[in-house]
Amino acid sequence: MTRTEAPTLTYAFAVCRGGDVTAPADPLAEPPGLGGLPGLGTGAPVRTVAAGPLTAVVQDVPAAGFDEEALRSRLSDGAELERCARAHHAVITAASALAPAVPLPLATVYLDDGRVREALGEREASLLAALDRIAGRVEWGVKVYAPTGPRPAPEASPGDGPVSGRAYLNRVRTRQYGREQRHTLALRAAERVDTVVRGLAVAARRLRPHGVEVTGRHRTHVLNAAYLLDLGRERELRAALVSLRRDETDVQIELSGPWAPYSFADGGITDTAAAP
Amino acid sequence: MTTPPTRGPAKALWEAVPAATARKEAPAWGTTPAEALGPLGVPLVDLLDRVLATGVVISGDLVIAIAEVPLVRLSLHALLSSVNERVPAPWTDSGPL
């Protein structure tokens, strides 16, 4: 390397149990996938940092591109945010395929490997507990939407000539009432969906429903939930979804996954802000 | 009685859901263009729900307020708005009577 060493920071993606992803004595245990990953595309390999019983999956990133100021502008740029999120996710997915891995949030950056070890050391007990909880399990996402498009009432055809003020107000009231009724029905349907899927899961969590800027104006997001399921229950889950879609005709139900257990990794760290 | 796969941990499942399936399953997004699905077949909004809002917060050395994410939410908002501008909603409750 003739390149002069630019100062670097250590970007952390995920935390695994030590022996799971690094076992120097056993070359097969060294993740074949991780080293070959582009990660954030900095040119440095994705590697591991051992910290007692834990191992962090990390990558060196140039300090100039990932200091606080640079990160701020990076994550404010939609395209760059997406690129970072997908890169982050790709590494976590690869790590999860090798061993239970606690995903870290986007843009978890340390000054150096020593700081990574310290941070892991401080959280050792809760990280080990989280690893126990997610082992052999994956996360699934279920979202329920209520269509907002009005069902045109038969008597409300605007083509019937001039409309009196009272008829107009009646129509507004009827539409408002119908809208509230549909929303209530959709919320109840969402609760039924949640109850069924929760029954298959070992843990469940409500995420924030998306606003209209995400869903579009033609539907309302009434449930955004994540469930932690044992591996091997996918078939049951899919069958349950088929059945729910057949029964709950007033709402749209979407399933995503399997995900690395993003939403179930923070046990032991009281996270009141994120709790439902 | 179903026999759960006895293969390794998460790997089997991740492989069992190729991108094509994930796309078919997850997004009935009327408003998400195809390019919002990356090579991994994951809808961006679902991904951001997870990489931003959840996960263990081990405070890094750089304080990017990920737990609050005002900054990132702003940019997410801008990102998704720009996505939706290209696909106007067909009908809304605030449409003409």
Band (pLDDT 50/70/90 cuts) for residue A157 is low
User: In this predicted structure, what is the pLDDT of residue A228?
Assistant: 95
Residues A145 and A259 in one domain: yes
Residues A116 and A178 in one domain: no
- The distance from CA A245 to its chain's CA centroid, rounded to whole angstroms, is 23
Q: Look at chain A and report how many structural domains it folds into.
A: 2
CA distance A181 to A148: 11
Question: By mean pLDDT, which of A86-100, A117-131, A236-250, B54-68 is the weakest?
Answer: B54-68
Residue A162 or A107, more confident? A107
Residue A161 domain flag: yes
Q: What are phi and psi of A256, to 5 degrees?
A: -135, 150
**Closest chain B residue to the Cα of A242, Cα to Cα:** B25
User: In this predicted structure, what is the pLDDT of residue A33?
Assistant: 61
What the block records as the tokens of A151 is 């069902």
Q: What are phi and psi of A147, to 5 degrees?
A: -65, 140
Residue A30 has pLDDT above 50, yes or no: no
To the nearest whole number, what is the mean pLDDT of chain A? 83
Contact yes or no for A81 and B63 at CB 8 A: no
User: In this predicted structure, what is the pLDDT of residue B2?
Assistant: 44
Residue A179 domain flag: yes
Residues of B whose CB is below 8 A from A150: 91, 93, 95
Residue B12 domain flag: no
Q: What is the DSSP letter of B43?
A: B
Residues A35 and A100 in one domain: yes
In this prediction, residues B5-10 reach a mean pLDDT of 38
> If 0-12 CB within 10 Å is exposed, 13-18 middle and 19+ buried, where does residue B67 land?
middle
Q: Phi-psi category of A37—alpha, beta or left, where left has phi over 0 and alpha has psi -120 to 50?
A: beta
Contact yes or no for B96 and A158 at CB 8 A: yes
Per-residue pLDDT tens over the stretch A121-135: 988 999 999 999 999
What the block records as the tokens of B57 is 């917060």
Q: Which of A95, A113, A135 is the last residue of a domain?
A: A135
> Which pTM was predicted?
0.72
CA distance B54 to A178: 36
CA distance A258 to A89: 13
Residues A97 and A64 in one domain: yes
Residue B95 domain flag: no
Q: Assess B23–A contact: CB distance below 8 Å, yes or no.
A: no
Residue A213 has pLDDT above 50, yes or no: yes
Per the structure, the complete domain to which residue A212 belongs is given by: 138-264
Q: Which of A135, A169, A199 is the last residue of a domain?
A: A135
Residues of A whose CB is below 8 A from B84: 213-214, 216
Residue B65 domain flag: yes
CATH number at residue A254: 3.30.70
CA distance B24 to B20: 6
Residue A195 has pLDDT above 70, yes or no: yes
Per the structure, the complete domain to which residue B83 belongs is given by: 38-87
Per-residue pLDDT tens over the stretch A59-117: 999 988 887 778 877 877 778 888 888 999 999 998 998 899 999 888 888 888 999 99
> Between the ranges A154-158, B11-15, B26-30, where is the mean pLDDT highest?
A154-158
Q: Which of A135, A152, A169 is the last residue of a domain?
A: A135
Residues A114 and A184 in one domain: no
| SS3 call for B37 | strand
Query: Which of B15, B31, B32, B61 to mutate: most A Cβ within 10 Å?
Result: B61
Residue A167 or A142, more confident? A142
Residues A23 and A130 in one domain: yes
Residues A105 and A222 in one domain: no
Residues A113 and A43 in one domain: yes
Q: Which of B40, B53, B54 sits opposite A89 (nearest CB)?
A: B40
User: In this predicted structure, what is the pLDDT of residue A81?
Assistant: 82
Q: Assess A168–B contact: CB distance below 8 Å, yes or no.
A: yes
Q: Look at chain B and report how many structural domains it folds into.
A: 1
In this prediction, residues A32-53 reach a mean pLDDT of 85
CA distance A260 to A51: 22
State the nearest Cα–Cα gap between B51 and chain A, in angstroms: 5
In this prediction, residues A219-232 reach a mean pLDDT of 93
Residues A49 and A150 in one domain: no
To the nearest whole number, what is the mean pLDDT of chain B? 46
Residue B47 or A68, more confident? B47
In this prediction, residues A132-150 reach a mean pLDDT of 90
Residue A53 has pLDDT above 90, yes or no: yes
Contact yes or no for B74 and A76 at CB 8 A: yes
Residues A91 and A156 in one domain: no
Please check whether residue A208 is in contact with residue A274, taking contact to mean a CB–CB distance below 8 angstroms: no
Residue A269 domain flag: no
**Closest chain A residue to the Cα of B77, Cα to Cα:** A213
Residues A200 and A254 in one domain: yes
